[in-house]
Structure formats: structure tokens, C-alpha cells
Structure 1
Amino acid sequence: MIVLEFKLKGKAEQYRVIDEMIRTAQFVRNKTLRHWIDNQGIKLVDLYKQCAVMAKEFEWAGKLNSTARQASAERAIFAIQRFLANCQAKKPGKKGFPQFKKHTRSVEYKQSGWAISADKRCLTLKDGFAAGKFKLIGSRDLHFSAPNGIKRIRIVRRADGYYAQFCINVERKEELVPTGKAIGIDVGLNHFYTDSDGETVANPRYLRKSEKALKRLHSRVSRKKKGSKSRKKALNKLGRKHLKVSRQRKDFAIKTALCAVKSNDFVAYENLQVRNMVKNHKLAKSISDAAWSQFAVWLEYFGKVYGKTVSAVAPEYTSQECSNCGNMVRKTLSTRTHICDCGTVLDRDHNAARNILVKGLKQEKINLNTVGHTEIHARGQTDLYSLVVASTSKSTG
């Protein structure tokens, strides 16, 4: 499956109709959740039947296409299933009880309620709301998709306009170009990441760089009267700025992950629990700004697309363990240099990246002959053979 996104160009009154559709989808989702709460023990499959009941009970809810109502109910059902799974698995802490939504920004259709023009440049929403015809603005091409290849369409409202996302049943595969290289990646805040060859990628810190402008826009919003048009305009400008920062962060994560996967046959990275790490209020903003989770998701995605091996390893002791002899060298977060009694002196993150690579190779049981273990690449790249020999000596010594 791939998702292609286009901006919708229409009239102001059409956008207002989309807002009504989104509010209706939110109502269906919340009403489904309420029915489950009030009827404990009901089968989740029976919640789909409430879509037809709501359409008869509320005339304006019946305007929404039946598949769109089902898709909205599915959002509540998935949240309930996740909660029940966490309870059954006895997950520690909060189990994630489903919550009612207040600020939904999208409505989703399946394979009815919409139509695409013959030239694939216009989208028409044909349900009871009759939002009409929208022009699709974007650089992607829909012509390659089969007539029934588009499985779902999602209409999304953002600060800078309305967008249509097409979920297309196409398997993306790129040509595999072997490089004979392997790296381990240690993410951080000083540098976005340091690899096992000692190379670093700078941390762009998009949110930090935009904080001054964001604070100014926040103060403008606070000075406006609640409910006024000027406040809505100020809120829109603030939303656009946040959206720009979010897009910059996502674009950086995608491009960096793509470069790492295309340049190597094997990539090992830390499987960090970012959700737990952001509980540290002193580092939460910097960790969120680094977008480690997005980077990991795109590493996995491009690994599948390009046929490369991407391994997520446990981060325990990767910074404390010496990558040369295996001894434990305790250090605090403020200690940035790894100094071992065996004579190894490395940057803390470089040492961790070497350990991550060895862990990843062991975890995936990679045959070194397929990675080029006798090759010492340019710019000081690590000899994989010496790394694994050192790792083996740790476990046997």
C-alpha cells in the first residue's frame, strides 16, 4: 500500500461542507464509543450496526456516506481493541482507555461516495452532503493505479487548507544495489546520529530555531478577543507555523533514513522507548524535536522497499560497554568521551554505535561474507571482522 496526497482546490462554501462532514464523522465515532461503554459485554462486530441506527435517528448523520460512517466507527473499534489487548496482556501502567474526540480533522471514505474524473485531476464527493467537485493539486500521478486500486480516501483539514489522501493497493519495490557496507546508528541530541564509522549528522533543531516566532504568534493570539475573526486569523497563522516545523522535521527524517538505507546493506539502530523518555521534563522538548521515532519508522520502511536489512536492537549498555574489549565503563550523561583501560578512546556516541552494529549483526545472524568483512572503507570506516571478533571475545572471555 502507498498513500498519495493532493491539495483540494474548491470554493469557500465547499470547505464549510467538508467541516460539517468531519464533525459528523467525529459524532459517529464518539456515539459508537458511548454505545460500547453503556453496553458492557457487547460484541465489537455489533457496533457496526449502530451506523445504520444513527443514520435513521439523526437525519444529518444519514447524509454521510455509509462507508464513511463505518470507517468512523472503526476508529472507535480499533481504540477499544487496543485497550482490551493491553488489559489482556497485563501491560504495566495505563492501559489506554478509549477517549472521546473533540478536535477531529479528517473523514475517511472506502470505495463509494466519491469519484475521480477521467483525467485523474478532479475528485467529486457524492454523498448526501454533496460537497461537489474539487481540483487535485499535486505532483504525483494517479494514472498508474487500477480502477479498483484505490482502497480508501481520507479528507484532511490542516492549517493551510484541505487535502485528499489516496490509499492505493500497490507494492513499492526499488532495485537492490548492493554496497557491501554495514553501519550501526546511535541517535542523540548533540548530533542527530553518529554511526559506527564515526560519521555524524547534525541535529537540525527545527522547533528550537522557530521558538521565537512561535512565541510571538502565541502572544498575538492571547491578545485577541475570543470568538473574533482576528483571533481566528491569528490562530491560523500559529497553526501554519507549527505545520511548517512538523513538515521540516518529517522531511529531514525521510531524507536521512533514505540516505542511510541506500548507502548500506545492513543498518542497526537503537530500539528506543521514546514515549518513556519524554517523561523527563528537562529533555522532553529536545527529544520530541529530534523525531527519533519518525526516523526509525522510515528506516524500517525503506529497508523493505530497497530490500536491505534493518535491525532494531536493545539500547541497554551500548554506551557503557567498551566496543574494543567489552569492559563496562560507567559514565553519566555529561561524560561525552569513552576512555577504557584497554587504551580505547572514542566519542561516547561512536562507541555506542559500534556496539549497536555488533548487536545487530548477532541478532540477525548475518553472514559476514555477504557484507564484505575484510574491506576497510574510505574515511575510516570500521572493519566488520574486527568488530565481531571483539564481540565474540567478550562472550567467550
Structure 2
Amino acid sequence: MIVYEFKVKGKEKQYQAIDEAIRTSQFIQNKCLRYWMDNKDSKVDKYALNKYCAVLAAEFPFADELNSMARQSAAERCWSAIARFYDNCKKKVKGKKGFPKFKKNCRSVEYKSTGWKLTLNRKSITFSDKKGIGTLKLKGTYDLNYYDIKQIKRVRLVRRADGYYAQFAIDADARIETQPSHQLVGIDLGLKYFIADNKGNVEPSPQFYRKSEKQLNRANRKKSKKFSQEKKKAHARQSNNYHKARNRYARKHLRVSRQRKEYCKRLAYSVIQSNDLVAYVRRSRCRRLDLNVKGLVRNPQLAKSISDAGWSTFREWLEYFGQKYGKVTVAVPPHNTSQNCSNCGEKVQKSLSTRTHVCPHCGYVEDRDINAAINILRRGLSTVGHTGTYATGDLPSWAIGCGLSSNGESVNVESPRL
């Protein structure tokens, strides 16, 4: 499954219609969640939620205006959150189990096989439901003529700070045969260096957020000055100047996010093309020995730097390109990879501020991250025979779900060239 993304162009009334469709999808999703919460004893499943969409369409005229399969797609979003909660409970995940929450700011609406139609040249798309979206022009460099219409399984309209986008989920094999490079690499993720490999090569952290922080803070102050507490207390709409300032602030954040994503994509592509096997530290939200990115972000001293690094994004792109080009990616647990000596194997305790590994047992001296990368590669090679079953712990991101993500981002596919 691959996802192509295009920017859509239309009139202001069409954009308002898209917003109305997004609000309707959010309404149906929240109504399905309430229906599940009120009928837990009757064992409500995803099929019952799909049937409940027809009840909502009969009760609310604005819900009936949305395409029937778009309503079912909203119900499926609700069920995916419920199923994730049940799965965490069965696995006895420590801490919060992720109880489904009501959506407040949805940014997308998803259509299945009906409710839309592409033009003959496939440069425009027409939505035929009663929301009045109409025909939208598609702006992008990808060509949909290579694929049959039946291969397009989903179409999603996404609202972002700089406009509206259309995403096409296409059932196609993205694998490409490449010549082997006969190279192996182990990489360690860090803050001083974004990645360091076992050969001593390092890639500096770009720190896109840090470099744009002054501009972001300035835009945030301008936005706050235009916010009226009186209107908030009166539940009145804020001024147009406030919403303009808010949009400018959101655009700056969107630019930083795209910079980080593009950097991670290019670096992951380079690593995959240069090596036949890539060993890296796995990360998860629940396993004790995994690199717990979510837990590390709670550290007030490191939260901003960790979020700015984009470790999870890099890992997702690494796994995607590995699957696409037929390369082996091995996720290993990070336990003691930076503490153990890569030369003699003895454990050398050191704090996070100690950036040089000095072994008192064998006298080996190396950068902390490079020492960890050597351990990661060695551990990856010791389990490489089990990568087919992913016995080392994690399924790669491409195997977990190749569809469109709930927030409108196409995390498992190549970003659009706009």
C-alpha cells in the first residue's frame, strides 16, 4: 500500500464544504464512541458501529449529507481506538491503557470507494455527496494514470495550516530490486549526534526547532496579544486578526515539521541504499527494555531536544525504505548498549553527561555513541536469523499498518514534492 498526496485547489465555498464534512465525520466518530460507552454490556463491535451510522443519518440531516462509506470510515476510526484499548488491556500494559477519548479538533475526512470520481486526465477529483465540495484541482508531481481506479482504496481530505490536501491510498507493491552493497551497519540515535554508526561516521543533529525557536516565540506572542479574554468568557468568536496570527504561527510550526520529516527521509534513504543490513535501537511505549521515547520526553531537561530530533520519524522511514528496497532492518533492545564495552564486553557505568567511553578493564577509548553503535550491530547480527519472525521484539512500522494515519499524515510513504 502506498499513499500519494496532492494539494487541492478550489473556491472558498468548497473549502467551507470540506470543513463541514470534517465536522460531520468528527460528530459521527464521537457519537459512535458514546454508543459504545453506553452499551458495553451488549458487546458492541465494529459491525454494530457501522449499522449505527445509518441510524445517525436518519436522525440528523447533516449526517445524511455525508457519503455513507465516509460515515462508516468515521466509525472505523472510533473502533480502531476501542480495539487498541482492548489490546492494551489484554497485554496488561503498565500505566494508562489508552481509553478512547472524544475528538475535539479533527482535521480530515476519509472516503472509501464511493463518493468521489477522478477526471479522465486524473488532474481533478469530484466529490458527489450532498456536502457540496464539488470538483477540486490536484496539484502535485505524482501521476495517478499508472494505477487502475480499483487500486485506489481510500481518499482522504486533510486540512493543514497552509491549505487542503488529498491523499490516495493505492493498493500497489512498492518493492524495488537493488544490487547488494555487501555492507553492514549499526546505528545509535543520540542528541549530540543524530546518528553514529559502528564505523565512526556521525551525522550532526540539525535542530530545526532550536533554529526557528525565536521566530516561533515571536509569532506566538503576536497571536497572544490579539486574544480577547472577554470574548472567551462570553463564548464569542475571536477576531479575524487573531485567527490570521494563529494561522501564521501554525504555518511556522508546519515548516519546522516538514524540515524534520524531509531530513529523516533523506538520511534513512541514504543509510538503506548504502547497506544490506541495518541494526538500530528499537523503541516502544510499553516494553521495559525498549527505548521509551514517550517516557524520555517527560524529562523537562531533554524533552525539547528529543522532540526536535525526530527519532521515531527516522525509524519509520528506515523501516519503510528497508521493506521497499529489500534490505534487512533489525531492531535490537537498547539495554546496556552504551554501558557495555564493545572491545571486551565488560560493563562500564557512566552517566548521561559522560560522552567518552573509557574502559578500565582493557583500556579501550571511544566515543560513547560509536561504542553503542558497535554493540548494536553485534547484537543485531546475533539475532539476524530471527528477523523473519521479529523475535527481537518489534514489528516494523510498515507491517503494523500501511493505511492512512488518523491525523492525516502519510507516515509510511514518501512525502509529496510540492
When normalised by structure 1's length, the TM-score is: 0.91
AA paired with 1:5?
E
1:43 deviates by 2.3
**Equivalent in 309, 333, 336 of residue 317 of structure 1:** 336
Residue number in structure 2 paired with 1:336: 355
Say whether residues 1:119 and 2:121 are aligned partners. Answer: yes
Kindly provide the CA deviation profile for residues 263-304 of structure 1, in whole angstroms up to 9, marking residues without a partner as x.
001100011221121121211111011010011111111111
Kindly provide the CA deviation profile for residues 125-163 of structure 1, in whole angstroms up to 9, marking residues without a partner as x.
110112110110001110111120100000000000000
Alignment map for 1:4-153 (pairs within 5 Å)? 4-41=4-41, 42-44=43-45, 45-153=47-155
Residue number in structure 1 paired with 2:374: 354
**Equivalent in 226, 232, 236 of residue 243 of structure 2:** 232
- Secondary structure at the aligned position of 2:92 is classed as coil
Aligned equivalents of 2:355 and 2:225: distance in 1?
44
Residue number in structure 2 paired with 1:159: 161
Alignment map for 1:186-197 (pairs within 5 Å)? 186-197=188-199
Aligned equivalents of 2:368 and 2:385: distance in 1?
26
Aligned equivalents of 2:343 and 2:259: distance in 1?
38
AA paired with 1:93?
G
From the CA coordinates, give the structure whose radius of gyration is larger.
1
Aligned equivalents of 2:344 and 2:93: distance in 1?
37
Residue number in structure 2 paired with 1:250: 261
Residue number in structure 2 paired with 1:281: 300
- Secondary structure at the aligned position of 2:166 is classed as strand
Say whether residues 1:294 and 2:310 are aligned partners. Answer: no
- Secondary structure at the aligned position of 2:144 is classed as coil
Say whether residues 1:169 and 2:180 are aligned partners. Answer: no
- Secondary structure at the aligned position of 1:281 is classed as coil
Residue number in structure 1 paired with 2:391: none
Q: Which runs of 4+ in 1 moved over 2 A?
A: none
Residue number in structure 1 paired with 2:365: 345
Aligned equivalents of 1:40 and 1:354: distance in 2?
51
- Secondary structure at the aligned position of 1:143 is classed as helix
Aligned equivalents of 2:182 and 2:307: distance in 1?
33
When normalised by structure 2's length, the TM-score is: 0.86
**Equivalent in 259, 267, 271 of residue 260 of structure 1:** 271
- Secondary structure at the aligned position of 2:383 is classed as helix
Aligned equivalents of 1:286 and 1:153: distance in 2?
35
- Secondary structure at the aligned position of 2:194 is classed as strand
AA paired with 1:254?
K
**Equivalent in 182, 190, 213 of residue 211 of structure 1:** 213
- Secondary structure at the aligned position of 2:305 is classed as helix
Aligned equivalents of 2:352 and 2:149: distance in 1?
55
1:344 deviates by 1.0
- Secondary structure at the aligned position of 2:146 is classed as coil
Residue number in structure 2 paired with 1:241: 252
Kindly provide the CA deviation profile for residues 5-29 of structure 1, in whole angstroms up to 9, marking residues without a partner as x.
0000000111001000000000000
Residue number in structure 1 paired with 2:414: none
- Secondary structure at the aligned position of 1:163 is classed as strand
**Equivalent in 270, 281, 293 of residue 270 of structure 1:** 281
Kindly provide the CA deviation profile for residues 181-232 of structure 1, in whole angstroms up to 9, marking residues without a partner as x.
1010001000101000000011000111111000000000111144100001
Segments of structure 1 that go 5 or more residues without pairing to the other structure are 367-397
1:101 deviates by 0.5
1:89 deviates by 1.6
- Secondary structure at the aligned position of 1:180 is classed as coil
Segments of structure 2 that go 5 or more residues without pairing to the other structure are 229-237, 283-290, 387-418
Q: Over aligned residue pairs, what C-alpha RMSD do you find?
A: 0.9
AA paired with 1:245?
V
1:254 deviates by 0.6
- How many pairs align? 366
AA paired with 1:31?
K
Q: Percent identity?
A: 52
AA paired with 1:117?
T
Considering Cα pairs closer than 8 Å and 6+ residues apart, tell me whether 1 or 2 has the greater RCO.
Answer: 2
Aligned equivalents of 2:162 and 2:44: distance in 1?
40
Aligned equivalents of 2:216 and 2:90: distance in 1?
43
